[in-house]
Amino acid sequence: MSEEPAHHDCIVIGAGFSGLAVLHHLLAAGFDAVGVDRNDAVGGTWLVNRYPGVRTDSDFPIYSFSFPVAVREEWTWSEQYPTGAEVLAYLQFLANRLGLIDHIQFGREVVRAEYSEHAGLWRVDFASGPSMTCTYLVSCMGILDAPMWPDIPGRDTFAGELLHTADWPVPGVELAGRTVGLIGLGSSGIQIMPLLARDSAALYVFQREPNYVVESSFPAVSAEQMAHIRRTYDDIWRRAAAHPFGVDMVIPEFGADEVSAERRRLIFESKWQEGGHHFANETFHDLATDPRASEHAAEFIRSKIRQIVHDPATAELLSPRRYSFNGKRVPTGHGYYAAYNLPHVHLVDVRTTPIDEVVPAGLRVGARTYPCDVLVCATGFDAMTGPLTRIDIVGRDGRVLREAWRTGVRTNLGLSVHGFPNLLLSLGPQTPYSNLPVPIQLGAQWMARALTFARDHQIVLEATAQSEQWWAEEVERTGRATVMYEEGAKAGAWFLGANVPGKRRELLVYMGGGQVYQQHCMQAELEQYRSFRAQG
Ligand code: N01
């Protein structure tokens, strides 16, 4: 006779930022909650994306949680934009300090989850090991858990070392004396490129669509700074939670066309010097909403590229012309443009002449074969929906999530899907475009309260069809009010699903602002989750 699967109140899938926050708050609310993760340690995205140069592009105080105070007091950051290794160490510290580690099963890859209406529970199946059941299932799989390889024929024939930034080997890859090819220039490719340039004998960078890169250094955090942050942390957190993009930055007073051309240049220059997302968020308030303002920022960055890159033809090739600033998620560079001045670094335009195939010796582009010992793909992710649609999530009446979303993503606030009772999503599609720890923490706290209410009142949480319709319209309406919609379509942005061949083009994030989103979540709570009670 087969044994009954182990049962828990809640199963939390994933042990990265989201999984740790949700698990902590569910345990604190008295649930019997268990975390499962396919990896062998906590960290999620930060555990697997360990390529050289990986670091956050958010200032350190807001790339962490405000809970609990003990962790804030004990944890010390060392650089303004912490390295991936330091972020990973923070997550491991958090998991150990809060005792979460004892509630997580590692090496447990979920392949299927199916809801039984009759039993009122989810059965979760794994690639190996026994199945489990739960009353509440929470997906914390992150937005970037489904890496994509480039759709170029011949990949399997490559005789050298083939790598993806999202699956970087530990302890690393020997590059000295080797010729390296790099495909992909989003945030990952832009971070790894200067280090590949530093360490290799020759580097070929294969560029399709250039990006607007905001350059930045990463100054050390002093003891005084850390002490000040600890003293004022509650205010920092409050300001970040009130900001549309979840950052502790001041919303500028003026639009880009409300000042003279010279004043505009000076403001752009001062924030360019400050570096990183300060340029995007603290220059003018309309860079994300007015195409003219976004084009002013674009032209400023093009002028910087011309200043930094010595070869005019390379500078021009690096300058985006087909879309304006904010059309793609803005990447931070650390010596990115300057690295093109090194004599052994070669930029190859694969927009005009696309890559034909991977051959054993390297990459064939038109009549020329570029030799590579190592080929690095920084080619991105099937973002937002990919982690949820590549496994079988089967809801009421045998409805499969992947099929339900084939005609368009539908959620209530990105948290719940009609037809999938007692399934909650952390960072589901249609949640805010933001510095992520802020919506992750607020979402985890919302979930703990919602599930407590559901448990205490014996109700099932499931988005109503009407709420999904409302939220889809809100996502569309607010998205169309930004430049991301049209410029993102031109740029092939992942937040529109435009980077995945065959994927439906639709806005996968909420662009209406994190603070507005939180008000909607609060309203749902005040209404005792009426829009999450499809079953009466
Ligand atoms: O991926 P991407 P990413 N031939 O999709 C190219 C987060 N993140 O991993 O633009 C040639 O942005 C593709 O070219 P094109 C952050 O949210 C954060 O870099 O389609 N090129 C593009 O250049 C970020 O937005 C940090 O023409 C091909 C690249 O691959 C998200 O992750 C660090 C190709 C993919 O860029 C994704 O970033 C890293 C082909 N056949 C990542 N196929 C932080 O700093 C694809 N490309 C916190």
Spatial distance between the Cα atoms of 114 and 137, rounded to a whole number of angstroms = 10
CB atoms within 10 A of CB 485: 18
CA of 493, closest atom in ligand 1: 5
* Residue-level pLDDT at 535: 85
Question: Does ligand 1 have an atom closer than 6 angstroms to the CB of 150?
Answer: yes
Q: Is 183 in the pocket of ligand 1 (CB under 6 A)?
A: yes
Domain, as residue range, for 28 = 6-146+382-532
CA 328–ligand 1 middle distance (angstroms): 9
Q: C-alpha dihedral over 228, 230, 234, 239, to 10 degrees?
A: 50
Is 167 a pocket residue for ligand 1 (Cβ < 6 Å)?
A: no
Longest dimension (CA), the chain: 80
Q: Is the CB of 184 under 6 A from ligand 1?
A: yes
- Separation of CA 195 and ligand 1 centre (Å): 17
Residue 57: which CATH number?
3.50.50.60
CA pair distance 414, 119, nearest whole angstrom: 26
* 353 alpha carbon – ligand 1 mean position (Å): 20
Best residue among 162, 164, 190, 208 to mutate for probing ligand 1, ranked by most atoms within 8 Å of CB: 208
Reported as a single tens digit per residue, the pLDDT across 315-361 is: 999 999 999 999 999 999 999 999 999 999 999 999 999 999 999 99
* HEC readout, 11-35: EEECCCHHHHHHHHHHHHCCCCEEE
In a domain, 68, yes or no: yes
Closest ligand 1 atom, CA of 184?
30
418: nearest Cα among 469, 474, 473: 469
Best residue for ligand 1 mutational test, from 351, 435, 499 (most atoms within 8 Å of Cβ): 499
Rounded Cα distance, 247 and 78, in Å: 19
For 143-189, the pLDDT digits (tens) are: 999 999 999 999 999 999 999 999 999 989 999 999 999 999 999 99
Q: Do the beta carbons of residue 435 and residue 62 sit within 8 Å? A: yes
Question: Does 410 fall in a domain?
Answer: yes
Q: Give the Å distance between the CA of 187 and the centre of ligand 1.
A: 6
* Span from the CA of 520 to the centroid of ligand 1 (angstroms): 31
Give the pLDDT score at 2.
63
pLDDT digits (tens, 9 = 90+) for 411-468: 999 999 999 999 999 999 999 999 999 999 999 999 999 999 999 999 999 999 999 9
Asked if the structure places residue 152 within a domain, the reply is no
533 beta partners: 462
Distance from Cα 382 to the centre of ligand 1, integer Å: 10
- pLDDT tens-digit readout, 488-507: 999 999 999 999 999 999 99
Residue nearest to atom 28 of ligand 1 (CA): 184
Cβ(454)–Cβ(409) under 8 Å? no
In a domain, 120, yes or no: yes
Q: Which residues pair with 400 in a beta bridge?
A: 394
Angle at 167 between CA 82 and CA 183, to 5 degrees: 90
pLDDT band at 3 (very low <50, low <70, confident <90, very high): confident
Tell me which amino acid residue 510 is: Y
Backbone angles phi, psi at 8, to 5 degrees: -130, 160
What number of CA atoms fall less than 13 Å from residue 204's CA on the CB side? 21
- 297, part of any domain: no
Question: What are the start-end ranges of the H helices in 309-398?
Answer: 312-318, 386-389
Question: What spacing in Å lies between the alpha carbon of 297 and ligand 1's midpoint?
Answer: 21
Measure 308 CA to ligand 1 centroid, in angstroms. 23
Q: Cβ distance 212 to 75 under 8 Å?
A: no
Give the integer Cα–Cα distance in Å for 123 and 43.
25
Rounded distance between C-alpha atoms, residue 502 and residue 432, angstroms:
24
Query: Would 195 be classed as within a structural domain?
Result: no
Assess if residue 327 is contained within a domain: no
Rounded to 5 degrees, φ, ψ at 398 are 70, 15
Could you read off the pLDDT of 97-121 as tens digits, one per residue? 999 999 999 999 999 999 999 999 9
Q: Is the CB of 207 under 6 A from ligand 1?
A: no
Interatomic CA distance for residues 2 and 451, integer angstroms: 31
Identify the helix (H) or strand (E) that includes residue 183: strand 179-183
Q: Ligand 1 centroid to 221 CA: how many Å?
A: 29
Closest residue CA from atom 19 of ligand 1:
186
In a domain, 307, yes or no: no
Q: 491-527 burial, b if ≥16 CB within 10 A, otherwise e?
A: bbbbbbbbbbeebeebbbbbbbbbbebbebbeebeee
The residue whose CA is least distant from atom 24 of ligand 1 is 187
Q: What is the pTM of this model?
A: 0.97
Measure CA of the first residue to CA of the last residue in the chain; give whole Å.
Answer: 38
Q: Is the CB of 389 under 6 A from ligand 1?
A: no
In the predicted structure, residue 1 carries a pLDDT above the cut 60:
no
- Reduced to 3 states (helix: H, G, I; strand: E, B; else coil), residue 496 is helix
Whether ligand 1 lies within 6 angstroms of the CB of 329 is answered as yes
Beta bridge partners of 394: 114, 400
Nearest to 129 by CA among 149, 152, 111, 114: 111
Contact 189, 211 (CB under 8 A): no
Q: Is the pLDDT at 307 greater than 70, yes or no?
A: yes
Mutate to test the pocket of ligand 1, among 358, 379, 484 (most ligand atoms within 8 A of CB): 379
Ligand 1 neighbour 492 (Cβ under 6 A) = yes
Write out the two tokens for 291.
Answer: 């195409």
Give the total number of structural domains in the chain. 1
Find the 226 Cα to ligand 1 centroid distance in Å: 32
DSSP designation for 416: B
Pocket test for ligand 1, best of 155, 162, 185 (most atoms within 8 A of CB): 185
Query: Structure tokens of 93?
Result: 């510290």
Q: Which two tokens stand for residue 408?
A: 């368009």
**How far is the C-alpha of 313 from the C-alpha of 148, rounded, in Å?**
30
Averaged pLDDT, 113-142: 97
Q: List, for residues 228-276, the tens digit of each pLDDT value.
A: 999 999 999 999 999 999 999 999 999 999 999 999 999 999 999 999 9
Q: How confident is the model at residue 536 (pLDDT cuts 50, 70, 90)?
A: confident
Sign of CA dihedral 40, 44, 48, 53: negative
Q: What is the dihedral of CA 283, 285, 287, 291, to 10 degrees?
A: -140
Smallest Cα–Cα separation from 84: which of 37, 41, 52? 52
Task: Locate all alpha helices (DSSP H) within 347-496, ordered by sequence.
Answer: 386-389, 401-404, 437-457, 465-480, 483-491
Atom of ligand 1 nearest to the CA of 499: 20
- Report the percent of the chain where pLDDT is more than 90: 98
CA of residue 383 to ligand 1 center, whole Å:
10
Any ligand 1 atom below 6 A from CB of 358: no
Cα–Cα distance, 439 to 495 (Å, whole number) = 17
CA-based nearest residue to 103, from 167, 183, 165, 15: 15
pLDDT for 241 equals 97
Position 430 scores a pLDDT of 98
Q: Measured in angstroms, how far is the CA atom of residue 510 from the centroid of ligand 1?
A: 20
Residue 184 CA, ligand 1 centroid: distance in Å: 6
* pLDDT at position 386: 97
Q: Are residues 139 and 388 in contact, defined by beta-carbon separation less than 8 angstroms?
A: yes
| Structure confidence by residue, pLDDT tens digits, 388-419 | 999 999 999 999 999 999 999 999 999 999 99
- CB atoms inside a 10 Å sphere around CB 112: 15
Does residue 48's CB lie within 6 angstroms of at least one atom of ligand 1? no
* Cβ-Cβ contacts under 8 Å for 130 (sequence gap 6 or more): 3, 5, 6
509 Cβ inside 6 Å of ligand 1: no
